[in-house]
Structures are given as C-alpha cells and as structure tokens.
Structure 1
C-alpha cells in the first residue's frame, strides 16, 4: 500500500520549482519505509514506500535506461511473468521487486503488458524514447489512481489530496459527486469530489503524450463464458483450488498477517483458508468489532466459532458509546472525501487496532457477496422457464433454512423481482410517495436538485446495473460483479488503512476467481435452498457449522443508530448552523428527519442524518484546501 505520483509538463517546459516535492509530502504518511522523487526537465515521478512483500525493498522511482517507473503493486503471477520475461532484462531475478517485473513486462509487450498481469496494481511508466507516460489500474480497482489533465499539464497520484497543490487545480467542488454521495449513488467511476480531478476506472489504461491522451479498457468479464464440470464435487474442487490460490497469493509478506473477521460467510471463509495455508507456527491475527450495547448487531457467537481454532489470535474492538464521527479531526486529516460507510466509527478503530498490534497485511472479505453469488436470480429464472417443480423444491428448502414461509419467499424473490422499476415508480407516485432521488434522501434541497439535474443523473446511475431487470442469474451476477460502486468502496478502505500503514488485501477480488464464479451454472451457486452454496459446500471441512448454516449476515442498524444518537449535540449544532451545507440540503426537511429519527428510527432517516453530518464535516475540513494540511504541518 505504497503511493505513487507524477507530473508532466506537456509543453516541454521545466516543472515548477518545488511542486513535485509538495505533492510528495502530502503522501508522506504512506511511506513509512522510505520515499523519493525522480525528475527530468519536463517530467517528475514520486513514490512513498510501504514494504509489505518479501521483495519490497524497492527503491522507487526505479530507472532502467530510457524507462522510469513508480508503482503500488502486488503481482500474483510472478512465476509465470519471470518465465515469460527471462532474458528481456539483464537485471531481472527471482527476487526482483514487482516494479521491476512491471518495467520488464512493458519493455517486452509495450502497453499490452497489462493483459499479462494478475494482482493489485496502479503504476505509471515514463518512456523517454517515445516521450509518453503509460498508466494503468488493476482489474477491480484495489489500487487508486487519480489524475488531472489540461493542455499544459498531466498529473497523477494515489490520493486526491496530492493533486491539490497544483495551480491548475482550483479546488472547487464537483457538485455532481455531492449529489451522488447524498443519494448513495456512487457508481460513477470517473469523477472525484473536485472539479478537474478524475479517477482512472478499474481495468483501464492510458497513454499521455504532449499532444494526446488515449484511454482504454483492457479487460472485462464475459458473461457468455460457461464452465462445465462432470459432477458437483468437480465444481467444488475447482472453486476450492481457485479460492485457496487467491488467498495464498495475498499471504506473500515478510510481516505479520491479520484478517478482518465479522462472523459472516465472506470474512470467515477468508480467515479459515488463510489459517489452513499458513505454517502452524505462524499466527493469524483476527480483528473484529463487537457491541455490548447493541445485541442485534453483535456477531460474537459466530466470530468466536472461528477464533476458537488453533493458531488464531483474536483482537476485539468495542466501539459502544462513541459517535459516528469519533476522532473526526484525526480522520479527516487523512480522509479527503466525506466518509460514506455508516459504520465508519467502528472500522476506523479496527484499522487503528490492526496497526497497534503490528500487523502489515489485513485480509478482507470485500466483494464476497457478489463473487460467491447469492444465486437468488435462479428463482425468477426457474419461474420464467416454467420449471415449477424445481422452483417449488428450492423455495420449500429455503423456507426451512430461513424460517420463512415458501409463499413469502415466492412473492419476495420471484414476483417482486419481475416488476419493472417504471411500474414501481408509477405506483409510488400514484400513492403520493417520493421516488428516485427524493426517495433516497428526503432532505435534498430542490434548488440543488434542479441545478445539477440530480433526478436524471440518479435515474441513470441507478438503472445502469439494475439487478431486477436481469433475465438470468448469470446476468444478475455479472451486473453485481461489475457494479461501479466497488471502486468507491475500495478507495475508501484504502484511505483508512493508508492512514495507519497497513495494506488491505481481498481474496474475493481475484481476477481468476471472478471469472470462475461467473462461469459456473446458477444451480451451483444456489442449491437445496442455500444461497452461496458453492462456498458452503467447498469449504465445509474448514468452516464451523454455525457459519455454514447462517442464512444471512447480521443487520447492523442498532449499532449505527446508537452511534448516530451519540452525535445528538453535533447534529443540533449542524441544524442551527448549517453553513454551506444549506446549498445541498433543505434544513427544514433535515430537521424533520431528525425529529422522526428521535421518535421512530428508520434506516432512511438515519442515512440522511449520517450523510449530512459526514458532508458537513468534510466541507469544513477539505474543500478549497490549497494550503498545507494538518498532517503536513505536524
């Protein structure tokens, strides 16, 4: 979880004195193991090193002849790359850092090198001979990449804040992103919270020259590919082998390894497989949030079913009694956007504890829901194709597992999913209920909504990957896997762990696992009334029975609502002194949401208040920040 940055003067003029160093300094917290800059007349690259792999004594920016690279990368197919690149770089050895492999791959394959990579990466290569900058981001967006482009300048960085010192970045807010944040629609992968700062989407690469910028997608999932195995056991073996390899690749480190463990199927699967792979004498630390004052949000029973295994060292965070933006000043020193995770108060402390224990790598179950696939799209698919007996059998089995009548499941997961969104909106409008952005956030300022065309934008983003209109389960899973909001979630996790010098790694985000899972028949994903059946079956010897038989993950509403209640004073101050927040929210409607939450809490009002609180804190701390941050001043 290192950091990269760079600057190119496209007119060929010398770089502004000291600008590269100022950008570099804004990322100093990500370089506990060193940092450096390289600069020629019109181009400069910078790097901050967090050493997390055995090969990570990696002095970057690294130059070899006419090529210079800065990278934040972990390559998972090193052996294959080393074999293919043998002889293409005289200095390349089995112990070479991943950045050296990337440079050798570029020298051999040019911009097509990204098609040969597996892992998590963001990198930029200055090619002096071609007078061009080549940049790329990994398949799912684990590693962030922000950039700024004008006719005269191209700049990039791991974190948005490193681009703010540039004179061509005005620091003005992109109100479209504010609208996305306030309505929970974070699917736009290209814009940031500032005008003139963009994000390179996952699985994309770009070439920048003094006169041109070419931008393309180098990989995408193919929903037409299918996998056919001779038996259920064969499918289970394929999934198990691929998942184990995904976990094994993410254990490559010379430091301590930890795992975020919530007690759900995703994090539990990652944890038990990691424990099974690691040597017996190497501990696996787990980090979990438990709640003494929110029984319905506490997953201790399931967490302890995993941590009772030998070789696991559990650590617990108890965030009872704190507010949703506890340690606000500290968090927003690093967090250059409004946090959107309603449980940020707990995961921030989880990251802190991970660092305090001395763990370098934190495994995480992110993307598990869509990679292992609930498979619920099979039910309406069976209905559409008139396979009534199969549908009835699955609904009855599901009802037994979940303690829910089969008739209720039929209405919810079959009939309800067949109703088009347009019909739902017409029905709600006829009953006088809000729709689209007004349904998502009842406190939006109508002037703001009209100013940015938020209704049209919301409808476009919400409909681009609607699961309800998917005609098959495979298409439903494809849309879930390719949801653009994954990038926003991964970028947020990157920021919070980046503040503490820990690198998160995500086995369920492995490119090979994504492709395998999507190619599997839906009947392997949903079987005998069990969602995500392939995970439950293939890991049955490792997962505790209580985890295998969990129908759903615990809802965290009570813990969130308690933390929001602890913010009563801050919310009162916000309502009385809204400042620039009033540009985006109607304060009377926000007061009404607060009153409703006090008397009868609901998820919608809770989210509305949380977003107001988060946005207001960020508006005060970050926009127009052209001066040194509190982090730099310290």
Structure 2
C-alpha cells in the first residue's frame, strides 16, 4: 500500500521540506520502493511507493505537469477504457503508470473524472493556476485519507500518525468518539475519527479546498443498484454473477508483480475469490497463497473451524493452502503493536495480525479477503423466510419452510422463532419486549460507560440516548440496514487496510468493488433463498468452480477467529485487572464504569447469543481503555 501526504498553507506561510520529510518518515513502511516530496509556493505534496502491479515500476510521484501537481495511491481497473476515451494509444499505455493516466483524466474532465474511474484509489491534485486542491477517495473507501483543516492550514495523509508530524495539528482524543465506541449509537457522524480536529474523507466523496481556505465536500457516488441490472430473469443474474465477480477478482491479480495472498475460510465469499483466480494464476504459472485461520488438528470439540472447508480446495492446483493456528494468543496479546500500527483501538485482532505477517513472509504484496460478501452477492440475512411471508408469497413460504427444516435439521419451533417471527414483529413491539426484559432500564445503562460522562454527551446532544444500537437487528428492514452497513463501510476508517500496510501489504476487497455493489443491490430476494438454503445464486453460478462439499453445505459462516469465545473468556478477567491498574488519576474511569464492566464479564452466559455479544462488547471496552492509556502515555 503506497501513501500520499501533503501540507497546504492558505495564510501565505511557507511549507518546509523538513516537515514533509517528517511526514514521509512516519509512512516509511508504505514506501519501501521510494519516498519523494515536492514543495512549491506554500504547497507541499509527498508520495511513498509500494510497487504491487507491473505499471508501478514506471511510477515517479509526485507528478508535476505545468501548474498541476498530483500524488495518488491507486489501482485503475479500466485503464484501456480510459485510454480509449482520452485518445491514448495502446503502445503508450503499456508503459504508463496509473498516476499519469489519472492526470490525463483530470485534465480532460476535472474533478468529475471520479465518475469514470474503476478501482481502489485516493488522490490529491493541486492546481496552481486556480490555487485549488482536489482530494478524492474511491467508491467504497478501500483506501483512506485523513486530514486536518485549521486556521490557514490544511494537512492530509494516508494515516493519522503522519498528520502529527506537522506543527499545529492537534493530538487529542475526541470524547464524543470515545462515547460512540462505548454506546454504539445508530447514527454515524460523517467524517468523524477518534481524534479532535482530524477527519477522514468518506468513500465516494470529493473534497475541494480553495485558495482562501474555503472547503467543500460532495458525494459523487453512493451504493445503489444500476438500472441495467434491474428486472432481469434468473439466467441473466447467474451469468452476471460469474462475469462481474470474476472481473472484480481478475482486475486485482492480472497485473501483479508477485503472487497474491488470500485470507481464506473455504466458504462462499473467500472460496469464490479463490476459484475465480484460477485462469490468471494458471496463465502466470503462479499460485494463490491461501491463508486459513484454524484450530490445531487435535483441538478438542465442540468448537468449529474452517479447516474441513478449506481442505476441500486442497487439490486445486493454483491454491497454496497454509494455516495460521492460535497457540497462547488472546485478543489482548501485543495489543499496543496494533495501536501503533493503526492509530486506533479497533482493528486489533491477533488473527489478522498473524495472517498479514504470514502473507508478508510469503513475499506477497497484495492480500485479498472476502469481506463484504454477506452484504453484496452472498446475502445470508436473518429472517429471510419471514420476508417471503411478509411479501404475501404464501405457497413459496410453505415450500421453503419445509425445505428449510430439511436443509438445516432444525426444529420447526426454532425455524419459526429465528427465521420467521423477527420479520413479522413490529419494531415498536420488539422495542417494548426488549425494554421489558431490561425491566425498563435505559439502554445506555446496559453499557459499561461512566454515568456522568454519558449524561455529559446527552446534554451536549453529541449522542441521542434513544437511538442506540439494539442487540436484535430489525430483520424486516434488511434492505435499509444493508444499505446502511454498506455506506458505513464506505465512509469509515480503513483500519484493516492500515494494519495490512504496516506489514508491507496492500489489502483489497473484491466484494466492495463498485461493479459488484451496483449489481448485488439489483438481485431479487427470490434468488438469495431457495430450497431452504441461503446463497442460492452463488451455488448455481459457481457450480462448476466450487467444491461439492461447499455447494451442499448448510447456512452460516465460520469465524475467522475460531475458539475466540474461550480465548476471550479466559483472558478478559486478567486483562481487566491490568487495565484498571492503568487508571491513574481517573483518566480511564472518567469514561468507563469498571464495576459494570467487571459485572458483565462475571455474569456472561455462554449458552445464550446475548452472552457472546456481551463478551465481545466487554473485550472492545477493555481494548478502548488500554488504547486511551497508551495514547495518554505517548503524549506525555
């Protein structure tokens, strides 16, 4: 993963090469193949280069062409189409890096060039003639750019840590963001980060900064179904599934300088990616390094892992299957290393760190994963059966009800409770039932947040106590929730991308490809559930590509972190004691109710789903407390 960074002074001040150099040094892990800066007339831009694709060998950023200076971290998937539209010949395109092609697109279409781009990208373009900065982020936010906008100063970078290399950028945690992570509100604050005075440009957005410091941000894209995919027959969707997902996968691997890695579970999401890389890998004489997180082969039951599903791909000649096996690691092991890598309390899973390190050791530079499959092509949303009944399709409901029982082996009562009733229960009734179960206690008091701090947030109207995330999802509003999840994924912080970059890797997610999202949102519900099983379309479209074991498998996913419950349960009490010892002068108890946190850990019932959720919340709260203490110590 390459990096971009820059400083623009709108107050007439100068930008020094020294401060740009400091920014470059903090992002050195993203620039093993070169770091360069360009400083001119109150503006400084910089670039760190990680060569991933063949055309990256021709990169020489920052690019200065007349009055325009450009830096970008990008992979353009529609190079040929752009070149044709711009009148660039095939011979010229062959040796042209993506950044030069982007510059030509900007000269032709201005900031509206984002409407024509396919791929993962962030870029910054300074137009000296108009004295205007254009900053843009790809459609689903697969790459990220953070910025600080103060009096006479605008600073941007691929990671927050680089911003602090510039004098005048605040280095303070946002109390509102801390409250958000303790209370889990429904509403998302666009552009917000964990830090005061630091924002992230949402995916699908363009920011412009004028010479006088005036800033404007606009959305150029949002997740939506494109008309060409609406109202088609089943044969169309089957063919389009293979074609569009295949394009998204192939675009990411066809021009690589080294073999790719794939975080692999053997399920439909990562399994489809693995299968669809076959033509390119065979042509190149390479193999995909498929990294699977699994338990030791002699691990005690009843914990389920991905080993059996992954082994079904063992005989695929283009797949190099390898395992990451947990030993004594816990969710809190070496957590400060992740803090330093991501500048965040999230994205600290030890499994991800281990998988990325394996990928780096395998001499790969690109790592793919199946994240987003559940939200796009391979939907497994709850209460699908109930939605069939809600739509008035009674014969289909009865047929699928019987098939569901046969496919899952579950009792009829279980199916009605889990797959039907949530879609039929009105939201007001669901809320009333939850309130009754809490004996009328407000939702926020079920969280381990200090009461005074919570009240402060409510009084400031920073968080609405009546709009907190509830444990049970509103299944019958799935389409609205699905769009909400996709938007939050696009607009948020790419913590996994940043963690991968700390290991010298570029992370990309085919299911968050613009083409995939626009197609997926057009697929009818009837193609997601059939014969009592989810992912019907995937089973049909990829019948010739996936193992029989997977095609015949039942519903559900396998965790990337098998036995995580046991590891967290066993380590949480000790981790809580350790973090309470860091509460000097109430710096942590100001935010966190440690008694409530301890009680939630002590009373967790592993036999209930809500117990697993409570343990997950508790571990995230401990990680947040550790992060606050770590950040405070680093600031001293």
TM superposition score normalised by structure 2: 0.90
Whether 1:613 and 2:622 are equivalent positions in the alignment is yes
> Per the alignment, in what secondary structure is the counterpart of residue 518 of structure 2?
helix
Q: How big is the alpha-carbon RMSD for the aligned residues of Structure 1 and Structure 2?
A: 2.8
SS across alignment from 2:530: coil
Match of residue 448 from structure 1 = 453
**Conserved in 2, the CA contact under 8 Å of 1:160 and 1:336?**
yes
Partner residue of 1:313? 320
Write out aligned runs for 1:429-448 (5 A): 429-431=435-437, 432=439, 434=441, 436-439=443-446, 441=447, 443-448=448-453
In 2, the alpha carbon distance for the partners of 1:284 and 1:358 equals 12
Q: Which moved more, 1:53-62 or 1:17-26?
A: 17-26
Which residue of structure 1 lines up, in the alignment, with residue 600 of structure 2? 593
- Is 2:557 the partner of 1:553? yes
Match of 1:379 among 361, 385, 390: 385
User: Mean alpha-carbon deviation: is it higher for 596-605 or for 102-111?
Assistant: 596-605
Partner of 2:205: 204
CA distance in 1 between counterparts of 2:435 and 2:581 reads 33
2:351 aligned residue? 346
C-alpha contact 1:340 1:611 (8 A) present in aligned 2: no
Q: Which secondary structure state, in structure 2, belongs to the residue aligned with residue 307 of structure 1? A: coil
Shift of 1:49: 0.7
Q: Note closer, same or farther for the CA distance 1:224–1:357 as it changes in structure 2 (3 Å cut).
A: closer
Structure 1 pair 605–480 and aligned structure 2 pair: CA distance change class (3 A): closer
Structure 1 equivalent of residue 261 of structure 2: 258
1:450-465 alignment runs, 5 A limit: 450-453=455-458, 456-457=463-464, 459-460=466-467, 462=469
Corresponding residue for 1:82? 83
Describe the shift of the 1:375–1:533 C-alpha distance in structure 2 as closer, same or farther (beyond 3 A).
farther
The separation in 1 between residues aligned to 2:23 and 2:633, in whole angstroms, is 16
The alignment partner of 1:317 has SS state of strand
Is it true that 1:6 corresponds to 2:6 in the alignment?
Answer: yes
Aligned to 1:298: 305
Residue equivalent to 2:425: 419
What is the alpha-carbon distance in structure 2 between the residues aligned to residue 201 and residue 447 of structure 1? 32
Give the C-alpha shift of residue 616 in structure 1: 2.6
Which of 544, 548, 555 does residue 541 from structure 1 map onto? Answer: 544
1:3 shift after superposition: 0.6
3-state DSSP of counterpart to 2:246: helix
Following superposition, the deviation at residue 345 of structure 1 comes to 1.2
- 1:385: Cα distance to partner? 3.4
Q: Distance in 2 between matches of 1:313 and 1:85?
A: 40
Structure 2 residue 291 is matched with structure 1 residue 287: yes
Aligned to 1:368: 373
Which string of whole-angstrom CA distances, capped at 9 and with x for unpartnered residues, describes residues 147-188 of structure 1?
111231111110011112333322121112112222445944
Out of 217, 220, 236, which is 2:219 matched to? 217
Structure 1 Cα separation of the partners of residues 441 and 247 of structure 2: 47
Measured at CA, do residues 50 and 457 of structure 1 come closer, stay the same or move farther in structure 2, by a change above 3 Å?
A: farther
User: Equivalences for 1:80-479 in 2 at 5 Å?
Assistant: 80-86=81-87, 93-184=93-184, 187-211=188-212, 212-223=214-225, 225=227, 227=229, 231-251=233-253, 252-279=255-282, 281-292=285-296, 293=299, 295=301, 296-340=303-347, 344-372=349-377, 373-374=379-380, 379-431=385-437, 432=439, 434=441, 436-439=443-446, 441=447, 443-453=448-458, 456-457=463-464, 459-460=466-467, 462=469, 467-468=474-475, 470=477, 474-475=479-480, 477-479=482-484
Deviation of 1:17 after TM superposition, in Å, equals 6.2
The 3 A distance-change label for structure 1 pair 459 and 370 is: farther
CA contact (8 A) 1:172 1:624 kept: no
Distance 1:12-1:577 versus aligned 2 partners, 3 A rule = closer
Q: Structure 1 residues 76, 401: closer, same or farther in 2, change over 3 A?
A: same
C-alpha spacing 1:481/1:587, structure 2 compared with 1 (3 Å): closer
Deviation digits for residues 194-249 of structure 1 (CA, Å, limit 9, x no counterpart): 10000111100011012211110001233584735764333211110111111000
**Partner secondary structure for residue 554 of structure 1:** coil
Query: How far, CA to CA, are the matches of 2:119 and 2:500 in structure 1?
Result: 19
Count of matched residue pairs: 617
Unaligned runs of 5+ in 1: 628-634
> What are the ranges of 5 or more consecutive residues in structure 2 without an aligned counterpart?
none
Q: Secondary structure at the match of 1:289?
A: strand
Shift of 1:597: 4.7
Q: Is the 8 A contact 1:165 1:626 kept in 2?
A: no
Counterpart contact for 1:352–1:500, Cα < 8 Å: yes
Change beyond 3 A, Cα 1:390–1:260: same
CA distance in 2 between counterparts of 1:98 and 1:163 reads: 26
Counterpart mapping for 1:49-68 below 5 A: 49-57=49-57, 58-68=59-69
Q: In the superposition, relative to structure 1, how do residues 531 and 481 fare at CA in structure 2: closer, same or farther (>3 Å)? A: farther
Residues 1:467 and 1:140: Cα distance change in structure 2 (over 3 Å): farther
